[in-house]
C-alpha cells in the first residue's frame, strides 16, 4: 500500500494466489473463452442499453426491438473484444504479474497462445463492426462515427504506443464510451435525437462502470506499478482512491434523483443500501482476492440502477 511517506507497503502474504490451484488444469473449449471475456463484468455493456432504451420508450411510448437487440449485441461484442485484447496485451507487456490478485488471465497462464487470443479479439471486433453496419443503416452518420470511435477506443485501451489502461484516464474513457456514448447512442437509434437527459443518464451509468474499473486497478496496484502502469489508483494513492470510488458510486444516485434527472429517477435511490455497503467494503477490506467480489457487486449495482431507472420511467 502507498503510505503518506511515499514508501510502499508489501502486499499481504497470507492471501493465496487465486490461480495457483488452477494453472495446471486449464479449461478448454467454450469454457476457456467464457473465462477470457470476463463474464462477471459484461453487464457493464447491458446497463447502458437498458437505460437508453427506457429513455426512448419514455419519449416515444414505444421502442423498436431490432435496434435494441443489435445495440445490445454490438456493445457486448465490443466489450468482449476489449477484454480479450487486454488479456493478450497485458501478458505481452508484462502487466499480468504473478502478484496479481484478480481472476486468471488465459494468455499469461499459457492456456491460450497470444495469437489465438488476439484473433478471438479481432473476431469480436469484426462482428461488432458488422452489427454496426446494420445500426448505421438505421441511425446514419452519427452512429457510424460513434461505432468507429468505440472500436478504436476498444483497441486503444490496451494497444498502441500509449494504452489508455496504462494511464490515469481509464475511468474517463469508461464514462465516455460505456456511459454517455452507449446510452446516448441507444436512445438516438430509437428517437433520432440526442437529448440532455440521455447525456445525464449516460454520465450516471458510466460513473458506476468507472467504479468497476477503479476497483480492479485498486486491487492490483502493486503488480500494475511494477508493469509501469500509472492508473488512477496508483496516481492518487490509497486514501484518494477510496474517495473516488465513493464518488463514482454515489454520483448516479444524486444525478438521477435530482430535479435535473429524468422523471421517476428518484426510484434509483432504492440502490442506495447496496451502494453504501460497497463503499464501506471498499474502504475497509484488505486489497486482494476479496476485491473480485466487490468488483462483481459493483457491476451488479450498475445493472440495478439501470433497471430501477427503467421502472421509474415506466411509472
Per-residue pLDDT of the chain (315 residues; tens, 9 = 90+): 434 444 444 343 333 434 333 455 778 788 899 989 988 888 899 999 999 999 999 999 889 999 999 999 998 998 899 899 888 888 887 655 555 566 778 888 888 899 999 999 999 999 999 999 999 999 999 999 998 898 888 788 877 778 898 999 999 999 999 899 999 999 999 999 999 999 999 999 999 999 999 999 999 898 888 888 899 999 999 999 999 999 999 999 999 999 999 999 999 999 999 999 999 999 999 888 889 899 999 999 999 999 999 999 988
Backbone φ and ψ for 27, nearest 5 degrees, come out as -70, 165
For the chain, the domains span: 30-314
| CA distance linking residue 115 with residue 305, whole number of Å | 38
Torsion of CA 88, 89, 93, 98, to 10 degrees: -40
| CA distance linking residue 133 with residue 194, whole number of Å | 20
With 0-12 CB in 10 A as exposed, 13-18 as middle and 19+ as buried, what is 195? middle
Q: What is the pTM of this model?
A: 0.84
| CA distance linking residue 287 with residue 26, whole number of Å | 26
Which of helix, strand or coil describes residue 102? coil
Amino acid at each position: 500500500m502507498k503510505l503518506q511517506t511515499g514508501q510502499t507497503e508489501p502486499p499481504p502474504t497470507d492471501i493465496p494466489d487465486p490461480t495457483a490451484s488452477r494453472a495446471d488444469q486449464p479449461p478448454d473449449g467454450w469454457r476457456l473463452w467464457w473465462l477470457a471475456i470476463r463474464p462477471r463484468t459484461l453487464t457493464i455493456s447491458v446497463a447502458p442499453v437498458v437505460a437508453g432504451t427506457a429513455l426512448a420508450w419514455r419519449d416515444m411510448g414505444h421502442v423498436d426491438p431490432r435496434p435494441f437487440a443489435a445495440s445490445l449485441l454490438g456493445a457486448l461484442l465490443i466489450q468482449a473484444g476489449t477484454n480479450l485484447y487486454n488479456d493478450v496485451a497485458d501478458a505481452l507487456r508484462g502487466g499480468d504479474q504473478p502478484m496479481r490478485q484478480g481472476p486468471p488471465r488465459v494468455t499469461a497462464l499459457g492456456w491460450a497462445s497470444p495469437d489465438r487470443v488476439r484473433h478471438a479479439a479481432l473476431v469480436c471486433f469484426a462482428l461488432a463492426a458488422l452489427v454496426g453496419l446494420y445500426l448505421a443503416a438505421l441511425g446514419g452518420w452519427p452512429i457510424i462515427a460513434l461505432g468507429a470511435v468505440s472500436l478504436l477506443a476498444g483497441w486503444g485501451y490496451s494497444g498502441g504506443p500509449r494504452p489508455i489502461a496504462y494511464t490515469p484516464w481509464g475511468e474517463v474513457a469508461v464514462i465516455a464510451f460505456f456511459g454517455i456514448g452507449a446510452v446516448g447512442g441507444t436512445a438516438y437509434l430509437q428517437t433520432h435525437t440526442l437529448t440532455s437527459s440521455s447525456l445525464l443518464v449516460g454520465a450516471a451509468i458510466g460513473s458506476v462502470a468507472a467504479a468497476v474499473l477503479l476497483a480492479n486497478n485498486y486491487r492490483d496496484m502493486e503488480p500494475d506499478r511494477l508493469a509501469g502502469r500509472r492508473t488512477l489508483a496508483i496516481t492518487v494513492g490509497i486514501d484518494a482512491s477510496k474517495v473516488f470510488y465513493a464518488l463514482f458510486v454515489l454520483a448516479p444516485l444524486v444525478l438521477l434523483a435530482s430535479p435535473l434527472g429524468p422523471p421517476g429517477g428518484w426510484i434509483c435511490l432504492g440502490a442506495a443500501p447496496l451502494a453504501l455497503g460497497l463503499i464501506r467494503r471498499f474502504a475497509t477490506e484488505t486489497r486482494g482476492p476479496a476485491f473480485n467480489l466487490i468488483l462483481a457487486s459493483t457491476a451488479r449495482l450498475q445493472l440495478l440502477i439501470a433497471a430501477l431507472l427503467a421502472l421509474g420511467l415506466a411509472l
